[in-house]
Amino acid sequence: MPAIATLTILSPGLYTLLVDRGRPRTRSLGVPVGGAADAFSLALGNALVGNPPDAPALEVCLSGPVLCADEDLACVLFGAPFELNAGGRRLAAGKTFTLLAGEELSIHGTSERARAYLCIGGGIDGPEVLGSRSSLQPVVAGAELPCRRGTIMSRFLRSSFEWNAEPGVLRFLPGAQAEWFSEDRLTGQEFTITPASNRMGLRLHAEPLGSSEREIVSEPVCPGSVQVTRDGQCIVLGVDGQTIGGYPKIAQVIAADLDKLGQLRPGERARFRRVSVEEAEDLYRRKRRELQEWLVRLYVAERRKER
């Protein structure tokens, strides 16, 4: 019988959220997809501690939480290279570790990218809402999260992958109102991620794409939709973005690149590159294959170790 442990949040950090793969089937109710902003990192973090790829984990953003548990826990922080330590020990992102009972785990900041996933062997429990354990609110100080006791041998996975060779390049298909704008304006300049960005969307700043007084009747949008506001600036919708919108859409970031949106941080720059539907689908399949190969490798290694 698995032993129950409690993970306590001592300090919540900037925006720490329990996430899994979210709710892809609730858009028609006006409920955003939600879930991990970088699902690729969530899957690999989970695999490192022997969990299914979609197990609930804590997403940390830019400045992490301080936590402690009443039992030993098998942990990894996977994604952006946050600095972290537990007790007096300096730990490394991407490397599994056992958090000892009573030890304080501090997740600090990261010099690059924005988000990482604290995955715990056996997963972290939370209430299921509309088929997902992704929370609608970030954790607060004093919150107690049920999880499983465990220990783990040290293993490491670097966070660099073929699909993500160019993290600052967002590949796109034309949006529904693309012809209202000049595509050169979108592809010919760099866009700066502004501090007003969050899980709902990245607000970009660049030379205005041209302003349009025309409005559209609200129509469905989704993560990756690039909306142009009245002042000619772009908002790229994120996983918590609204489900319908009335701004014209110049572009739609392809599915293979949605995880990049979760790792762009304020001050960083991004570029847009147009692809065809066929290329988009091929890039998605290649990324999917790369993920599967890593998952298989990690699960096989896990089983060898157990034998």
Partner 1 sequence: MQPLGDQAVLIHFADENDALQFAAVVRRDGPPWLVDVVQAYASVAVFFDLDQTGYAAVAEHLRQLQDALSRQPDSSTSAAGRLHDIPCCYELQLDLHRIAEHTGLDAEAVIRLHTEDVYTVYAIGFCPGFPYLGYLPSPLCGVPRLTTPRTRVEAGSVGLTGRQTGIYTEARPGGWNLVGRTPLELVNVADGYFPLRTGDRVQFRRIDEAEFRRLQGERLA
List contacts with partner 1 (CB under 8 A). Answer: 24-31, 127, 129-130, 136, 172-173, 176, 217-222, 224-225, 242-245, 252-255, 277, 280-281, 284, 288
H or E element that contains 172: strand 169-174
Question: Which pair of structure tokens corresponds to residue 53?
Answer: 């790829």
- Minimum CB separation from partner 1 for residue 85, in Å? 36
Asked whether 219 and 299 are in contact (CB, 8 A), the reply is no
What ranges make up the beta strands (E) of 62-193?
66-69, 73-79, 82-86, 89-92, 97-99, 104-110, 115-120, 144-148, 169-174, 191-193
Q: Are strands 144-148 and 4-11 parallel, antiparallel or unpaired?
A: antiparallel
* Single-letter code of the amino acid located at 103: E
- Minimum CB separation from partner 1 for residue 304, in Å? 28
Q: Which segments of the chain does DSSP mark as H helices, in order? A: 39-48, 183-187, 258-261, 277-306
Torsion of CA 268, 273, 278, 216, to 10 degrees: 90
Nearer to partner 1, 244 or 300 (CB): 244
- 118 to 50, 64, 99, 228: CA distances (angstroms): 13, 10, 12, 35
Torsion of CA 269, 260, 283, 298, to 10 degrees: 140
Nearer to partner 1, 101 or 136 (CB): 136
- Minimum CB separation from partner 1 for residue 96, in Å? 28
- Minimum CB separation from partner 1 for residue 172, in Å? 8
Question: Which pair of structure tokens corresponds to residue 181?
Answer: 């704008």
- Minimum CB separation from partner 1 for residue 30, in Å? 4
Nearer to partner 1, 16 or 225 (CB): 225
Nearer to partner 1, 136 or 196 (CB): 136
- Minimum CB separation from partner 1 for residue 158, in Å? 26
Nearer to partner 1, 30 or 195 (CB): 30
DSSP conformation class of 100: P
- Minimum CB separation from partner 1 for residue 216, in Å? 9
Nearer to partner 1, 23 or 113 (CB): 23
Nearer to partner 1, 31 or 66 (CB): 31
